[in-house]
Structure 1
Amino acid sequence: MLVLQNRSRRILLAAVVLAAVAGLTGWQLLVRGAAVHASPRLGVAIALPLQIAGAAVLVGQNQELFARNGVDLTTRRFLLGKLALQALLAGKVDLAIMADTPFVLAVLQNEKIAIVSSVFESRTSMALVARRDRGIHKVRDLAGKTVGTIPRTNAEFFLDTLLLSEGIPAASVHVTDLKPEELVADLERGTVDAATIWNPDLARLEREWGARAVVLRNEAVFVHRFVLVGTKAWLDQHPREIARVLAALRDSNQFIQDQPEPTRRIIGPSLGSQSGDVAKSFNPGEFTLGLSQSLLMALDDQARWAMRHQLSPPRTTPDFLDYVHQGPLESVLPNAVKLIR
């Protein structure tokens, strides 16, 4: 009987201890959650392109993930990332999402900006769409054809990279600069034989044209990458804001991974796309935060490309590690920073 009593006491004591620990843990979580909501929200303005690469921001707004992480977010939408960059340099926003090519060109012009994190990476979201009725079936058929692209963007870099990878002399292709808002229309009218197109327009053209469209890409040589950028002065002065924005994007990416169908319903209307086009063009795995060595290598490649094509005055290739602001991402997602110093 004494043994049973002692055993009962030990069980009761253990239960009390477990309850106390559980209660403490729950209280700590409650306090942490309350602390985020109770602390004053920090205002941040972000410029982003009307492209699928900005989906994490759209999801974060829709699900109030920025608010939960203490950010009072304002967004400005632009047709292209390079226009978002212009808003950043003009002081109209605090941060901007853009493709890596406009970032490189700005650095070559001595702009004091830095990357906080990559936010989107895809090998399939951009392609050269060609008209089959113009006798184009593969990349080598582009010789003598007229190809439209957007100058000083990753679309132009993609086109040059594609031609080079297939051994097609750039001089054999007539490349013409098009306005971004007229790119698809010019291809549909036949003003050009082919054009650089990205999602969701790429998915729409594939659906509407069917076999009339020839989609050309080389997934081994080009990554369609978007980065989150700020001026160095603002980044140095606002570490808390940056960390909170990254935490919200982290949570948004998790939502995208866990809830792909609701995500499609959120971003479709914002992009003016049909649900089927978004479903075809949307890949949850492309939305990640990170700073990698491959990013630095891509920036180096594009800097050399820009100077070779006289998009920038000749100069020493910058050390792009000096244009990366890695501290905030290290504090939010330490394993996402994979840079060799």
Structure 2
Amino acid sequence: MSIVTKPKLAFIVSVFVLSTVAWGVFHKHNEMQYPPSSQIKIGVSLTPLSSPFLVAEQLGFFKDLNLDVTLYPCSSGAACTELMIERSVDYATASESVVMFQSFERDDLSLLASFVESDNDLKLLTLVPFKISGVKDLAGRKVGVVKGTASEFYLDSVLISNNVEKASIDKVYLQPHELVPALLSYRVEAISAWEPMGFQADLLSVAEVTNLGVKGIYQLSFNLISRSPYLEFVDDEPVRLLQALELAIEWINANPDQALKMIAARLDIPLNQVEWSWEDYLFRLSLGNSLLSNLQLQARWAIESKLVNASPPDFRQVFYSYPYQQLLAQRD
């Protein structure tokens, strides 16, 4: 009699789960006919924030909707957007901060939907040996920040909420990969950083890491964007793309433990790194006033901080709402 080992059992369970999911998708869509789809290239940031795309790829949701999708990995939302602007990819994933800055520079950017939000992705980190017990203690201290990004916007927001003058701190502008090393080598006394930098600092630091930030003061969103000229000639492709993402989000929310393991394996990172921020992520498709207000607020900040030299764009024109509206109509 053969013995079913734990690895074999895990494999059998995985096959059963994936088969069940695939059957559910087939049953849901087997009577629908979709037009042929050319190859779609999507720039995807290599972070758990991009989980809906990674899950849709792994579980075949793109193929179920007759979408021939290739995911192109990027180091950040800004890098993905650059690939899209260069026309190396057709779509990109990017934070609302990237969308905001790009909208000052070009008028062909289209935002189709937000697929994840987090009110705790940005953190203001320091080390206990610096004896900084609160935001007010940052006066006269060196704070590492990435210029003109969510890192700087978050820092300024935290300072304002704590009645601390921006001029009272010494901003040290760094590249993203320099933030954690600068803190751990004591070149700066605090950093304004997004995940997974908080995880990395906590993992690598000998000294205890303290978060001075305020949860909820900044709502990060990751969004699907494209170029308006491209969207004019692709028929219902964006609608089916959002359908695939919605299926992936439904699966993630119904199977959080399996999703954690799938994302950790797909990104080739430790499971505990994904778990570090997982509870902070709200996976859902949306395109509404909250995102619009966030873009408008950040645009005013960019102008006041002299990071841009133009009038704010009308972000309502940046929203390409037709695919999302079609998705809502299909839900009813």
Place the TM-score, normalised by the shorter chain, in its bin: 0.7 to 0.9
Does residue 97 in structure 1 map to residue 93 in structure 2?
yes
Please give the alpha-carbon distance, in whole angstroms, between the structure 2 residues aligned to 1:48 and 1:194.
29
Letter in 1 for 2:201: L
CA-CA distance at 1:39 after TM superposition:
5.2
- When structure 1 is superposed on structure 2, of 267-276 and 235-244 the one drifting more is 267-276
Please give the alpha-carbon distance, in whole angstroms, between the structure 2 residues aligned to 1:213 and 1:189.
13
Change (3 A) 1:75 1:192: same
Residue correspondence of structure 1 range 2-81 to structure 2 within 5 A: 32-33=29-30, 35=32, 40-81=36-77
Residue correspondence of structure 1 range 170-189 to structure 2 within 5 A: 170-189=166-185
CA-CA distance at 1:280 after TM superposition:
2.5
Aligned to 1:26: none
Letter in 2 for 1:325: Y
1:79-119 per-residue CA deviation (whole Å, 9 max, x = no partner) reads: 21111111111111111111111111111113410110011
SS of the aligned residue for 2:92 comes to strand
Aligned to 2:317: 322
Aligned to 1:331: 326
Letter in 2 for 1:242: P
SS of the aligned residue for 2:113 comes to strand
Residue correspondence of structure 1 range 265-280 to structure 2 within 5 A: 265-280=261-276
Change (3 A) 1:311 1:284: closer
Change (3 A) 1:203 1:333: farther
SS of the aligned residue for 2:160 comes to helix
Please give the alpha-carbon distance, in whole angstroms, between the structure 1 residues aligned to 2:178 and 2:265.
21
CA-CA distance at 1:30 after TM superposition:
5.7
CA-CA distance at 1:51 after TM superposition:
2.2
Change (3 A) 1:32 1:295: closer
Residue correspondence of structure 1 range 210-289 to structure 2 within 5 A: 212-283=208-279, 286-289=282-285
CA-CA distance at 1:221 after TM superposition:
2.2
Please give the alpha-carbon distance, in whole angstroms, between the structure 1 residues aligned to 2:186 and 2:281.
35
Please give the alpha-carbon distance, in whole angstroms, between the structure 2 residues aligned to 1:127 and 1:239.
41
Please give the alpha-carbon distance, in whole angstroms, between the structure 1 residues aligned to 2:28 and 2:46.
38
CA-CA distance at 1:262 after TM superposition:
1.2
Change (3 A) 1:30 1:213: closer
Does residue 106 in structure 1 map to residue 106 in structure 2?
no
Please give the alpha-carbon distance, in whole angstroms, between the structure 2 residues aligned to 1:265 and 1:105.
34
Letter in 2 for 1:318: P
Change (3 A) 1:133 1:106: same
CA-CA distance at 1:41 after TM superposition:
3.8
Please give the alpha-carbon distance, in whole angstroms, between the structure 2 residues aligned to 1:30 and 1:60.
17
Please give the alpha-carbon distance, in whole angstroms, between the structure 2 residues aligned to 1:182 and 1:137.
24
Please give the alpha-carbon distance, in whole angstroms, between the structure 2 residues aligned to 1:80 and 1:95.
14
Please give the alpha-carbon distance, in whole angstroms, between the structure 1 residues aligned to 2:175 and 2:249.
32
The structure having more radius of gyration, on CA atoms, is: 1
Q: What is the number of residues matched between the two proteins?
A: 307
CA-CA distance at 1:305 after TM superposition:
0.8
Ranges of 4+ aligned residues in structure 1 off by more than 6 Å? none
Q: Percent identity?
A: 25
Aligned to 2:17: none
Please give the alpha-carbon distance, in whole angstroms, between the structure 2 residues aligned to 1:262 and 1:314.
46
Please give the alpha-carbon distance, in whole angstroms, between the structure 2 residues aligned to 1:31 and 1:60.
16
Aligned to 2:191: 195
CA-CA distance at 1:199 after TM superposition:
2.4
For the 8 Å contact 2:118–2:280, the answer to whether it is kept is no
Please give the alpha-carbon distance, in whole angstroms, between the structure 2 residues aligned to 1:89 and 1:43.
18
CA-CA distance at 1:321 after TM superposition:
0.7
SS of the aligned residue for 1:328 comes to helix
Q: Which has the higher helix share?
A: 1
SS of the aligned residue for 2:236 comes to helix
Q: Give ranges in structure 2 of 5+ residues lacking alignment.
A: 1-25
SS of the aligned residue for 1:288 comes to strand
RMSD: 2.3
